[in-house]
Chain A
Amino acid sequence: MEDKVKTQSKFTAKDFASDQEVRWCPGCGDYSILAQVQRSFPDIIEKEKEKVVWISGIGCSSRFPYYMNTYGFHSIHGRAPAIATGVKVANPDLSVWVATGDGDLLSIGGNHFIHACRRNIDLKVLLFNNKIYGLTKGQYSPTSEVGKKTKTSPYGSIDFPFNPISVALGSDSTFIARTIDTNPKHMQIIIKRAADHKGFAFIEIFQNCVIFNDGAFDSFSDKSVRDENLLFLEHNQPMLFGAKKDKGLKLVGTKPVVININEPGNSVNDVLVHNEFDDSPVLSMILSHLSDSPNMPVPIGVFRQIKKTTYDEAVTNQIAEVKKIKGEGDLEKLLFAGSTWEVN
Chain B
Amino acid sequence: MIVDQISKKQTKKLTEVTVRFAGDSGDGMQLTGSQFSDTTAAVGNDLSTLPDYPAEIRAPLGTLYGVSGFQLHFSSNDIHTPGDRPDVLVAMNPAALKKNISELKKGGIIILNTDSFDARNLKLAHYESNPLEDDSLKGYEFYLVPITSLTIKALEGSKLSVKEVTRCKNFFALGLMYWLYNRPLENTIGWIKDKFKNKTDLAEANLKALKAGYNFGEITELFETRYEVDKAKLPAGTYRSISGNEATALGFLTASVKSKLPLFLGSYPITPASDILQFLSTYKNFGVKTFQAEDEIAGITSAIGASFAGSLALTTTSGPGLALKTEAMGLAVMTELPLVIVNVQRGGPSTGLPTKTEQADLLQALYGRNGEAPIPVIAASTPSDCFNMAFEASRIAVKFMTPVILLTDGYLANGSEPWRIPHTHEIPDLPVNFRTDSEGFHPYLRDENLSRPWTKPGTPGLEHRIGGLEKANITGNVSYDPENHDLMVRLRQQKINNIANDIPELSVDGEKQGEVLVLGWGGTYGSIKEAVMHVRNRGYKVSQAHFRYINPFPKNTSEVLKNFNKILVPEINLGQLSKILKSEFLAPIVSFNKVRGLPLRTSDIEDKILELLGEKK
Co-complex (A, B): yes
List residues of chain B with CB within 8 A of the CB of A83. 301-302, 304-305, 308
List residues of chain A with CB within 8 A of the CB of B187. 339
- C-alpha spacing A341/B295, complex, angstroms: 40
Contact B284 A319 (CB under 8 A): yes
Question: Given contacts A85-B302, A91-B457, A339-B38, is CB(A73)–CB(B466) below 8 Å?
Answer: yes
Interface string of B227-266 (1 = CB under 8 A from A): 0000000111111110000000010011001000010101
Interface string of B282-319 (1 = CB under 8 A from A): 01111111010111011001111111111101000000
- C-alpha spacing A115/B295, complex, angstroms: 10
Question: Given contacts A75-B468, A112-B294, A339-B38, is CB(A82)–CB(B285) below 8 Å?
Answer: no
Contact B464 A72 (CB under 8 A): yes
Q: Does B42 contact A (CB under 8 A)?
A: yes
Specify which of A86, A325, A331, A343 is in contact with B234 (CB 8 Å cutoff): A343
- C-alpha spacing A44/B190, complex, angstroms: 59
List residues of chain A with CB within 8 A of the CB of B235. 343
- C-alpha spacing A82/B478, complex, angstroms: 23
List residues of chain A with CB within 8 A of the CB of B478. 20, 66
- Interface-located stretch among B117-125, B155-163, B169-177, B419-427: B419-427
Contact A74 B466 (CB under 8 A): yes
Q: Does B459 contact A (CB under 8 A)?
A: yes
List residues of chain A with CB within 8 A of the CB of B241. 339
Which of A48, A71, A72, A323 is most buried by chain B, counting CB atoms within 10 A of its CB?
A71
Contact A79 B297 (CB under 8 A): yes
Contact B424 A50 (CB under 8 A): no
List residues of chain A with CB within 8 A of the CB of B456. 91
Q: Does A22 contact B (CB under 8 A)?
A: no
- C-alpha spacing A168/B187, complex, angstroms: 54
Contact B469 A86 (CB under 8 A): no
List residues of chain B with CB within 8 A of the CB of A65. 465, 467
Q: Which of B43-97 contact A (CB under 8 A)?
A: 43-44
Contact A20 B477 (CB under 8 A): yes
Interface string of A103-136 (1 = CB under 8 A from B): 0000000011001000000000000000000000
Which of B284, B288, B310, B460 is most buried by chain A, counting CB atoms within 10 A of its CB?
B284
- C-alpha spacing A71/B187, complex, angstroms: 55
Contact A335 B285 (CB under 8 A): no
List residues of chain B with CB within 8 A of the CB of A84. 305
Contact B458 A50 (CB under 8 A): yes
Interface string of B403-438 (1 = CB under 8 A from A): 000000000000000001111100000000000000
Q: Does B141 contact A (CB under 8 A)?
A: no
- C-alpha spacing A318/B468, complex, angstroms: 34
Q: Distance in Å from the Cβ of A124 to the closest Cβ of chain B? A: 15
Q: Does A332 contact B (CB under 8 A)?
A: yes
List residues of chain B with CB within 8 A of the CB of A280. none
Specify which of B240, B254, B286, B305 is in contact with A340 (CB 8 Å cutoff): B240
Contact B294 A115 (CB under 8 A): yes
Contact A335 B250 (CB under 8 A): yes
Q: Does A265 contact B (CB under 8 A)?
A: no
Closest A residue to B258 using CB positions = A331
Q: Does A209 contact B (CB under 8 A)?
A: no
Closest A residue to B295 using CB positions = A111
Question: Given contacts A53-B457, A315-B289, is CB(A329)–CB(B463) below 8 Å?
Answer: no
Q: Which of A49-94 contact B (CB under 8 A)?
A: 49-53, 55, 58, 65-66, 68-76, 79, 82-91, 93-94
Tally of chain A residues near chain B (CB < 8 A): 59
Specify which of B286, B291, B423, B466 is in contact with A85 (CB 8 Å cutoff): B291
Q: Does A336 contact B (CB under 8 A)?
A: yes
Q: Does B331 contact A (CB under 8 A)?
A: yes
Interface string of B463-482 (1 = CB under 8 A from A): 11111110000000110000
Q: Does A244 contact B (CB under 8 A)?
A: no
Closest A residue to B234 using CB positions = A343
Specify which of B289, B295, B462 is in contact with A90 (CB 8 Å cutoff): B289
Q: Which of B368-423 contact A (CB under 8 A)?
A: 420-423
Contact A82 B306 (CB under 8 A): no
Contact A51 B457 (CB under 8 A): yes
Contact B464 A71 (CB under 8 A): yes
Specify which of B43, B254, B301, B477 is in contact with A75 (CB 8 Å cutoff): B301
Contact A87 B457 (CB under 8 A): yes
Q: Does A264 contact B (CB under 8 A)?
A: no
- C-alpha spacing A314/B41, complex, angstroms: 40
List residues of chain A with CB within 8 A of the CB of B331. 75-76
Question: Given contacts A319-B289, A336-B421, is CB(A86)–CB(B457) below 8 Å?
Answer: no
Q: Does A322 contact B (CB under 8 A)?
A: yes
Q: Does A154 contact B (CB under 8 A)?
A: no
Closest B residue to A51 using CB positions = B458
Contact B458 A86 (CB under 8 A): no
Q: Does B204 contact A (CB under 8 A)?
A: no
Question: Given contacts A65-B465, A85-B291, A85-B298, is CB(A76)–CB(B306) below 8 Å?
Answer: no
List residues of chain B with CB within 8 A of the CB of A115. 293-294, 298
Please name 11 pairs of A and B residues whose Cβ atoms are closer than 8 Å in the assembled complex, sorted by A.
A49-B463, A70-B463, A72-B465, A82-B301, A85-B305, A86-B309, A90-B262, A334-B253, A341-B239, A341-B240, A343-B236
Q: 10 other contacts beyond A50-B460, A50-B462, with CB at 8 A cut-off?
A: A73-B308, A75-B304, A86-B301, A87-B308, A90-B309, A319-B287, A323-B285, A328-B285, A329-B286, A341-B238
